[in-house]
A and B are shown apart, each in its own frame.
Chain A
Amino acid sequence: MKTNIAKLRNGLGLTQEELARKTGVTRQTIISLEQGRYNPSLQLACRVSRALGAGRIEDVFLDI
C-alpha cells in the first residue's frame, strides 16, 4: 500500500525510531510501512495517522 509516511515524518523532523516508539511498533515495521510492503491493521493505521498529525487516514495511506 502506498503511503505518505516518510514525507509526513520528515516534515515533522521525526526519525523512524521516534515514530516507532510513538506508535508502539518496531523500526522495521515503520520501514515496511514506508516502503508499502506491509498493510497495517486499522488500529495501527489510526495510531500512525495520529502520530503524524494527519486529519484523515486517507492522507497517510493513499490506497484506501
Chain B
Amino acid sequence: MLGKPHWFKRRKYAGWGFWPCCWQGWAYLAAITAPFFVIQAVPFDNEDIRWAAYFVWGAVILFDSFHIMSLMPKDERERTHEAVAERNALWAVILVLCVGVAYQAASGSVQGRIVFDPVIFAALGAGVLAKAATNIHLDRHD
C-alpha cells in the first residue's frame, strides 16, 4: 500500500472516496498524479505503450484507493451512519434508473420501437446481486 489511511478522512458530504486531512495526504495525491503528467510528457514510439502505462498506473491507484478505504478506521456510530447514507444514495440511484427505463420505454413506444439501455439493466442487476450476496453473508455470520 502506498498511502496510509490516517492521512485521509472519509468524504461524507460531497460524494464518495476520501480527502486528505494532513500534508502527507496531499503529498500522496501529488505523488500519484505526477506519473500521469510524466507519461503524457515522455515521447513514446508506440502509442500503445503510453496507453498501457496509463492503464497500469490507473490500476495501481484504484487498488491503493480501495485498500485505503477498506482500512480507514470507523467506529460503530460512523459505520451506522455510512450504511444509512449509502442505502439512501442507492435508493436515489435506483429511482433515477427506473425513471430512465420508464422514459425510454415510453418515448420508444411513441416512435414505434422500444429501446432499452442495457447498461441500466446491468446496473440494476448488479445491485440485486450485491444485495443478495450481502444478505447471504450477513445471515451466515450474524
Contacts and interface: CB of A to CB of B under 8 A. Distances in A.
Interface of B is mostly: helix
Nearest to A23: B75
B77 A38 contact: yes
B142 interface: no
A54 B75 CA distance: 22
Interface of A: 24-26, 28-29, 32, 38, 40-41, 43-44
A32 B77 contact: yes
Nearest to B75: A25
User: Is chain A's interface secondary structure helix, strand, loop, or mixed overall?
Assistant: loop
Nearest to A40: B76
Interface of B: 75-78
A29 B81 CA distance: 11
A51 B75 CA distance: 16
B78 A44 contact: no
Contact of B78 (A29, A40, A41): A29
Contacts of A28: 77
B78 A26 contact: yes
B38 to A, nearest CB: 38
B75 A24 contact: yes
A41 B75 contact: no
A26 B75 contact: yes
Contacts of A44: 75-76
Nearest to A20: B75
A44 to B, nearest CB: 6
A28 B9 CA distance: 14
Contacts of B78: 26, 29
A38 B79 CA distance: 13
B45 to A, nearest CB: 53
20 contacts: A24-B75, A25-B75, A25-B76, A25-B77, A26-B75, A26-B77, A26-B78, A28-B77, A29-B75, A29-B76, A29-B77, A29-B78, A32-B77, A38-B77, A40-B76, A40-B77, A41-B76, A43-B76, A44-B75, A44-B76
